[in-house]
Amino acid sequence: MKWIESVKINNQIVDMSELSTYMLKDKDVVEIKKYTEFYVYVQGATNTKGRIVFEPGELKTLKLLVAKVGLPSEDIENDGYATVNNSAAIDLKDVIYGSKDYELNLGDIVQITYDPFIVNTIGTSVGTVQLTYKEPRTLSYLIKKLGILQPESIEKVLLIRDGQQQEYAINQLLYDQISVPLVKYDTVILKQAETNAVYLTGDVAAYVTFAYNEPITMQRVLAKVGLSDHRKIEKITNGDTSIDFTKDLTIQKGTILNVQLKKPIYVTAMGYIKNTGRVSFDYYETADLQTLFAKLGGLIISPNEYYVSDKITIIRQDKILEYDAQKVFKGLDNLSLEDGDFVYVTESIPKQVYVFGKGMQNGLVRFTQSEDFDLRTLIGKLGGIKEGTSKDIAIISDESTKITWNEYVNLPLKSNSTILFDVDTKNYIYVVDPTGKPNMIYTDRNMTLYEVLSKVGMSKNYGKIELTSGTSKQLITLKTISEATGYNVKPGDIVRISDASMNFVYVLGEVKNPGVVQITEGMTVLQAIIQSGYFTSKAVPSTVWLYKGGVNGQAVKINLSAVTSGGNVDLTTIEPGDVVFVPADMLKTAADWISTIAPLVTMFNTIYGLFK
């Protein structure tokens, strides 16, 4: 009952408290209206993850969401933060214990993140120290927590932050004579007196000791910390001075060296490939297209496939690069990849024809990539022309062609052509339904288009019909199926049904080519945007609006910021008649944009002749 917003009986609202005693009469019309379901997706450091549903009447806020999912520790409550759609970051402490809150929208993605307060220590021991939110985050407290048994052995304490270092006396810190606050990921060096050692900071935290008479050289230092492979090192500095780490230079004892290692390159790949996902390239790997596809199992390119990988689109910040999958597969083309690249691979248009005829198996015939797409191969795939079937063949595509078959005749085919073997054309109507399935209707008279659609089970409103009669072709647009009674179909005609609402969506706003996009089954919002020329420089990828079924339909917020920043990309699919709108302002709601979108939809309907 809590999900029922209202009940109408014969168009009159009924009090909810009276429902249990209300007696229905014959032919009453009962309309039950449910509350719209509201949900968000939660990831990260929570007790409960995934799709979280809010009941009617509940506040749709971050504070209530945190209460619903629960947090595993007090450290997360005090030091964690929530990121909404990769664009708004809120400290959880202010939400849980303070008055700050955040209004959620349907379908928001909330990431709960906790980065522990860690300080790197080098000296008497090497490692990391985590300070909880209850502990003082000061240098004095850290020194005491380390439990130094012989403070007199410490010559000085060095605090390194952002490449800068500050010296402190050990006694100043042990006896709280000064207060030095710490910051996450600070490095603290306890420099030993009279010790033959070198200190490493940066990406490698190490305290490297040498025997009393042992020379200290660069190559010995690197060998002791397992960095003999120089390819892994980006650079090594001593203060502001860069050091040539490939040479065996003498290093003074007590020197502090900052080591920076090469970072992995991350690339996200999706589309028509054997595996998809986020791929990392380490320092010893070549980051290019060929290596990327090798890591993902390869492109789908085989002579025995009906569909193969076709075009490779690389989205790099505000650039779009395109390559041919066949050339990359054969090693004729390649591209060096950069961190954050998004790679999408499309599939090829299939080579296929529709076959009708006496003695022939009516249906869709597909050709693999290795098969010649011509009439001779088709007849071979059909098992030849059966006895009693005429050798007069009609091929209908953009124009009609008639050919009499013999072993010396051949003709290239076009995809989605209709091949008619000479049957009793005076008594058959040929129908191709929206799924591509062919059919034949026997009749010795003219029929209305309505009768034809009824006979093949097409009871819904199909917006576009292509009627081919002889060599003439007529495009018919229907708003309701009852209008089909006004069109006559003769024996021998071909009726191709292509539901207009299954063929296009509107892509508007901050894309380079706004307008109407033809869609295929399973197409995502991102694919439609790519087909529209991709985002403009003003676009806000984190707040793309999808209006389901049209501008007055349910609005869903889609976050596509991961396309440029890396990570998991939203794969929400689109359906016929949907409107995809890319805004330039993330603060406006879906309702705010309707007045902008509605005239554009009307304009494109007129331009493309989608409705009459």
pLDDT band, very low/low/confident/very high, at 108 (cuts 50, 70, 90): confident
Per the listing, tokens 């290019």 go with 288
Report how far residue 16's alpha carbon sits from residue 32's, in angstroms, rounded to the nearest whole number: 11
Chain segment 554-608, per-residue pLDDT in tens: 999 999 988 877 778 888 998 878 899 999 988 899 999 998 898 888 877 766 5
d(CA 313, CA 344): 5
Q: What is the Cα–Cα distance from 196 to 208, expressed in whole angstroms?
A: 9
Higher pLDDT: 46 or 191? It is 46
pLDDT at 479 exceeding the cut of 70: no
What's the confidence (pLDDT) of residue 463?
A: 63
Helices (H), 410-555: 449-455, 525-531
Only one residue has tokens 């797409």, namely 373
Q: Where are the alpha helices (DSSP H) in 72-209?
A: 74-79, 92-96, 139-146, 170-174
Residue 441: the pLDDT is: 83
More confident of the two residues 457 and 451 = 451
Asked if the model's pLDDT at residue 76 lies above 60, the reply is yes
Percent above pLDDT 70 for the chain: 93
pLDDT of 318 over the 50 cut: yes
Residue 48's CB is within 10 A of a number of other CB atoms, namely: 9
pLDDT in tens, 366-384: 898 888 999 989 888 888 8
Residue 220's pLDDT is what?
Answer: 93
Instruction: Classify 503-608 by CATH class.
Output: alpha beta
Which percentage of the chain shows pLDDT scores above 90?
A: 33
Q: Which residue has the higher pLDDT, 464 or 234?
A: 234
Q: Which pLDDT score is estimated for 250?
A: 93
- The DSSP line for 432-474 is E-TTS-EEEEE-SS-EEHHHHHHHTT--S---EEEEEETTEEE
**Quick one: pLDDT at residue 124?**
67
| Structure confidence by residue, pLDDT tens digits, 166-196 | 989 988 888 888 999 999 989 998 887 767 8
For residue 499, pLDDT beyond 60 = no
Q: What is the CATH number of domain 352-500?
A: 3.10.20.90
Region 536-559 average pLDDT: 91
What confidence score (pLDDT) does residue 435 get? 63
Q: Give residue 610's pLDDT.
A: 47
pLDDT digits 0-9 by tens, 125-159:
667 899 999 999 999 999 888 887 778 878 889 89
Cβ(141)–Cβ(132) below 8 Å: no
Note the pLDDT of residue 175.
87
Does residue 97 or residue 440 have the better pLDDT?
97
Confidence of residue 454 (pLDDT cuts 50, 70, 90): confident
State mean pLDDT over 281-300.
92
Among 502, 475, 499, CA closest to 487: 475
Residues ≥6 apart with Cβ < 8 Å to 162? none
Superfamily of domain 38-113: Outer membrane lipoprotein wza domain like (3.10.560.10)
Tokens 């009824």 locate to 454
Q: With CA atoms as reference, report the closest residue to 455 among 476, 429, 419, 479.
A: 429
Which tokens hold the place of 531? 């087909």
Q: Which of 315, 314, 318 is nearest to 537 (CA)?
A: 318
For the chain, the domains span 4-34, 38-113, 118-261, 265-347, 352-500, 503-608
pLDDT at res. 293: 93
- Note the pLDDT of residue 458: 65
Measure the N-to-C terminal CA separation of the chain; round to a whole number of Å. Answer: 44
pLDDT surpassing 60 at residue 261:
yes
Per-residue pLDDT for 462 more than 60? no
Residues 294-307: what's their mean pLDDT? Answer: 87
Question: What is the reported pLDDT for 607?
Answer: 62
The DSSP-derived string for 193-239 is: TT--EEEEEET--EEEE--TT---BHHHHHHHTT---GGGEEEEEET
Tokens representing 124? 């008497």
Q: Give the least confident one: 201-215, 287-301, 499-513.
A: 499-513
CA of residue 68 relative to chain centroid, distance: 27
Whether the pLDDT of residue 231 is over 80: the answer is yes
pLDDT at position 10 is: 87
Average pLDDT, the chain: 86
The CATH class given to the 265-347 domain equals: alpha beta
pLDDT, position 221 = 93
pLDDT, tens only, 335-344: 999 998 889 9
* Per-residue confidence band for 360, with pLDDT thresholds at 50, 70 and 90: confident
The pLDDT of residue 608 is 55
Q: Do domains 38-113 and 352-500 have the same CATH topology?
A: no
Q: Return the SS3 of 283.
A: coil
